[in-house]
Structure 1
Amino acid sequence: MISELRLSVLLRGEKFSPKEAENVTGLRLQDKLELGEISPRGRYRGKPVPYGTAQLEVPAEIPYEDRLMWIIRALEVNLKQLYECGAEETRIYAGYFYKDQCNFGFSREELSSIAKLDVDFAISCYDMSDEE
């Protein structure tokens, strides 16, 4: 039983500008850092980052069964512009938070659409069985 699905897209590049990407695409990005900004966390914590980075996250109000296609469609429409704004590393992250057992699958439409995007896709599963 999957209790929650969180999806996001990592956008990163030496010349990537999250601000420009938001202006060009109309997407709302999270965890934005422009090239040279001081990072509040991670490997460059307290230091200027040598790249621009941001995440595109699926809004919480999107129903579970529509989340993957929401992010796929957002990329289908905007990926070219994101690359033009300097994005180099683009990867979809799926986090499945489950209790007792983790089963998931993809429809033919989802698999076909992901393949057409030509981006990396990473899946992590988090067992929440011991949590109340």
Structure 2
Amino acid sequence: MIIRTQVSFSVTGTHFTPSKVPAPFSDSHDPGVIGTVGRFRGAPVPYGSAGFEAPEKEMAKIAWIYERVSPYKSAMRDAGAEHCTLSVTYTYDSQCALSFSQEELKMIVDLDCYFHVDCQTAT
């Protein structure tokens, strides 16, 4: 049984400048910001990045992401976005059987991005 669902959307690009997009991103940075973690820690990050993270208590997480991303798709491309990904992670305790409604599938296709699904066991 699935006990937790996490849904996020990320967008990146070498010249992507999310500060030019009036979207309510959960997190973002423009190219050249000094990295604080990972391989660019203490060095300029060579790409821009932004994302949305659906709230834990939101039941319709894909729709929540879609409603926030779709009005800004053109603006993100105009600001240099090159790659986008919708990620869904399911945490389960006994079985990871999943399905998507027709409406969710339409939203996923309309986002026009990579779609990643991950299943992990509860620890």
TM-score of the aligned structures, taking structure 2 as reference length: 0.88
* Aligned counterpart, 1:29: 26
Q: Aligned-pair distance for 1:45?
A: 2.5
Aligned to 1:79: 73
Unaligned runs of at least 5 residues, structure 2: none
**In structure 1, how many angstroms separate the alpha carbons of the residues matched to 2:101 and 2:83?**
25
SS for the counterpart of 1:5 is: strand
**8 Å contact from structure 2 (residues 25, 50) kept in 1:** no
Unaligned runs of 5+ in 1: none
RMSD: 1.6
- 1:98 to partner: Cα distance: 1.2
Q: 1:114 offset after TM fit, Å?
A: 1.3
Percent identity over the alignment?
32
How big is the shift at 1:29? 2.6
1:35 match: secondary structure: coil
Query: Is 1:15 the counterpart of 2:15 in the alignment?
Result: yes
Q: 1:8 to 1:59 in 2, by over 3 A?
A: same
**Which protein has the bigger helix share?**
1
Size of the aligned set, in residue pairs, is: 123
Task: Please tell me whether the aligned partners of residues 34 and 52 of structure 1 are also in contact (alpha carbons under 8 angstroms).
Answer: yes
Question: 4+ residue stretches of structure 1 with deviation over 6 A?
Answer: none
1:107 CA drift (Å): 0.6
CA distance in 1 between partners of 2:18 and 2:80 (Å): 9
Q: Classify 1:29/1:86 alpha carbon distance in 2 versus 1 (closer, same or farther; 3 Å).
A: farther
